[in-house]
Each structure stands twice: as C-alpha cells, then as structure tokens.
Amino acid sequence: MTAPDDLERAVEATLFAAEQPLSEQEISTHLQGADVAASLSALKCTYAHRGVHLVERGGRWHFQTAPDLAHLLRREKEEPKRLSRAATEALAIIAYHEPVSRAEIEAIRGVQTAKGTLDVLLEAGWVCIAGRREVPGRPTIYATTPGFLTHFGLQSRRDLPGIEELRAAGLLDPVDEAFAVLTGGDDEDTDAIDPPDEESADRTD
C-alpha cells in the first residue's frame, strides 16, 4: 500500500484506540483542529478490501470487522458429553413409538420427563417436532430425524430390533438393582405377607 501521510496515520491511530465511535469534529479536536475529512475518505477507501472496515454510522466513525468475516468472531467448540440415562430412554421411546407426545413418553417410561431432556435431544439433532396431535390440548409430538439414523448407523427405523430380539440378546433381562429399588413400590402389596427372607427373591421374577 502507498505510504499514508502523517495526518491519515494519526486519524487511523486515533480511531483505532478510541473507546467509542468518534465524530469528525471529535477527531479533529483530538488532532489540533486538523481537517480530517480527506483522511477519513482515504482511510475508508484503503480499508474497503481489508478484513477490517472503517465505517460511518450516524456521523460517527469506527473500525469494525468486515461483515463477511463476522462469523470468525464466534467459534464453536464442541465438547463430547454423554447422553443422560433419562435422555437415552426418551430417545429410545421416540424411536420405537414415534410420533409420540411428551405425555406418552412419560406414560411409557413411567417417570416424568424433564423439559430439558427433550431439549437435549432436539439440540443433538436426533429428534424433531413432528407437529401436534389432534386431541384436546393439541400436544406437540416428536419423531426421530434422518440424523438420528445416521448417527446410530441404522438404515431405517425397521432396523430397530423388536422386543423378542432384545430379549434374545439379553437386553430385556438386565438385573438392575437400581431399578429394583426405584420400582419396589409396585410389588408392595405382595410383599406384605411374605416372610422377610423371601423378599429379595421375589424381585427377580
């Protein structure tokens, strides 16, 4: 670039260091009353093709990042995070039963589903809102996305193993103590007349 004159350099530095946009008058005052109009035009021209532009907004001048590069100022950093158990279950229910409403998910899970749980699935791009069910209250219904199939390496939803297959794979009979405790309430009425030592055996059927 051609060497700018001293006034242009001074205007450039003044605007660079300014903490807020400056009017032509303010710049001039800062520089012993010099006429800075020509310098401003020259600078605007000089910077027009650069990564930084000199712009005038409401009579005040400032440097800003070129609009086409604005996206550079924000960078996304991805942090791997494990999907929570609740979210995984909700996702499984949506996949097997879609489209389903939140109430239906809760009915199947037997547990309330926090709002954030579905948000996580929407954010992950595995689930989308598939409209509303035409019943009273018109609840939102959810379905899986093509991204879901891609991520989980499924050709289509028909690839989801059926209940019998899950059982055969041993996935339906997890001996899960945590769940036994959580759902212990269900068989309370049978436990009542059980001798205490039989209680634990009761849970496994």
The residues in 71-130 that bind its own copies, with binding defined as CB under 8 A, are 72-73, 75
Q: Which residue has the tokens 């005038």?
A: 56
How many angstroms separate the CA atoms of 144 and 98, rounded?
A: 7
How many angstroms separate the CA atoms of 28 and 25, rounded?
A: 5
ω into 67 cis (within 30 of 0): no
How many angstroms separate the CA atoms of 151 and 163, rounded?
A: 22
Angle, nearest 10°, between helix axes 85-97 and 115-124?
Answer: 70
Site residues for its own copies, 55-74, by CB under 8 A, read: 63, 65-66, 69, 72-73
Site residues for another protein, 136-195, by CB under 8 A, read: 150-154, 160-163, 166, 169, 171-176, 178-179, 182-183, 186-187, 189-190, 193-195
128: contact with another protein by CB under 8 A? no
The contact pattern for its own copies, residues 15-54, with x = CB under 8 A and - = no contact, is -xx------------xx--------------x--xxxx--
| Contact window for another protein (CB under 8 A) among 1-9, 42-50, 63-71, 128-136 | 63-71
